[in-house]
Amino acid sequence: MLQRQDLAQILKRNEPHLFDEETDHEDTYVNVVDLPDSHSCLVAPLYVKDYLLGMLTLDNRACGVFSPAIVNFVGTIAKLIAVIIAQKDSSTALMSLNRNLTEERNSLLRPEEEIFSDIYGNSPAWQRVLECIRTVAASDLPVLIQGETGTGKEVVARKIHDLSPRRDKPFITLNCSALNASLAESELFGHEKGAFTSAVMKRKGRFELADGGTLFLDEIADLPAEIQPKILRTLQEGTFERVGGETTLKCDVRLIAASNKDLRIQVEKELFREDLYYRLGVFPIFLPPLRDRGEDVIVVAEQLLNRLRENDNYRHHYFSPEAIESLLAYSWPGNVRELQNVIRRSALMAADGIIGKEHLSLERGKIPRSSRRLSSPEPGRNDWKEFSTMEDAIREHIEKALILSDGKIYGSGGAAELLDMKPTTLQSRMKKLGIGQ
């Protein structure tokens, strides 16, 4: 730089400079590019605040091609280039740091560690899920978790949060199903007092509550179309406004979304924005259904029973060999959630502590304790067939609704809604049938 005092002065002024054709100066590309003696030369420093990153040089073989407007434009472009270079440097350093953190976590955390104690499983399909959790946790990348109902999407989301640098910050959840556009906007972004009739006070939304932490949006495929571009904007810019508010607020949130629907198909059907899908799906994780996890069903069932054994009433409960065969043979349409409810119910029914096949009640269309056998009058057909009483059929239907709703009776997605009954009527029917007692 001591040899190029002219450049030193340009850098000090931090402004683009067009060399005067009448003024002698040393060519920037001397002995590098063969340019005619008379040519145009324009330079612009690359600064981010007070930090010098370099210098942009533009040369043209002709004279007088850089007008004052072009010089000003190059000055603007130089600022943008400087920001891009700085971001690239920061991103590279951050990626290196995250990679180191991930490697350290991978070396320290094994599937049997305490942090994974409630998402157990030894099958290759589930081990891949655990590896994905360990890999993505240290980053701030958005995560899209897809899988059937009951596969444990929220549990996986919590594990990602617990292993992330945000683990000491909030983990906020919102189920997007059954939310209309106005309610969804208020739930996500909050509202000001008086924004609508029932807004009697200011209320923070989920993005604001999750600032610095993680926001988990379950059933993201059901998010109203009107809200999707607002979510996209918040993800891209980190800003939002409360409903009825004029102030733009900032948030630093790591987003994890989940869906039991294939979002690619939703995009093809134009039910979900393609740009939002790609923004959310930076790191997708697919949770396999329980039927595809082989003998994991026994591992999970045993762990669920272990939890019950903490209660003195179930301390000596165990599965019979026939029960284990039945667990393996069943398809588990409700996945882990259904298995959990089956274990709770069967443990309650096994008064002697031995959970048998008859306590699981997994055979479709058969309730063991009250089934009746009717002879078939026509030759050539089965001699006998199982037939349940009306009371048992109603009991089975209610129990399935409770499994699908995870035991919830009231509200959206509750068993009463699924059965198209009043919650009080359902509770009365459950009491009469002895369900949940």
The whole-number pLDDT of residue 379 equals: 43
Q: How far apart are CA 305 and CA 299, in angstroms?
A: 10
The model's pTM: 0.60
DSSP letter for each residue of 391-412: HHHHHHHHHHHHHHTTT--SST
With b meaning 16 or more CB within 10 Å and e meaning fewer, what string describes 345-358? Answer: bbbbebeeeebbbb
Q: CA 276 → CA 149, 203, 217, 257, distances in Å?
A: 22, 26, 13, 11
pLDDT higher than 90, residue 43:
no
pLDDT higher than 50, residue 292:
yes
pLDDT higher than 90, residue 336:
yes
Tell me 144's DSSP state: E
Maximum mean pLDDT: which of 251-265, 356-370, 422-436: 251-265
Q: Mention every residue, 6+ apart, whose C-beta is less than 8 A from residue 304.
A: 339, 340, 343
Residue pair 318/355 in contact (Cβ under 8 Å)? The answer is yes
Nearest to 170 by CA among 211, 120, 220: 211
Q: In sequence order, which ranges of 334-413 are alpha helices (DSSP H)?
A: 335-349, 357-360, 390-404
Nearest to 200 by CA among 181, 186, 184: 186
- Cα Rg of the chain, angstroms: 32
Q: How far apart are CA 207 and CA 244, in angstroms?
A: 16
Q: How far is CA 419 from the centre of its chain?
A: 30
The HSE-up count of residue 353 (CA atoms within 13 Å, CB side) is 9
Q: How far apart are CA 237 and CA 227, in angstroms?
A: 16
The whole-number pLDDT of residue 93 equals: 60
Structure tokens at 238: 């980190």
DSSP letter for each residue of 39-94: -EEEEEEEEETTEEEEEEEEEESSSS---HHHHHHHHHHHHHHHHHHHHHHHHHHH
pLDDT tens, residue by residue, 80-134 = 888 777 776 665 565 555 555 545 554 455 544 567 777 888 899 999 999 899 8
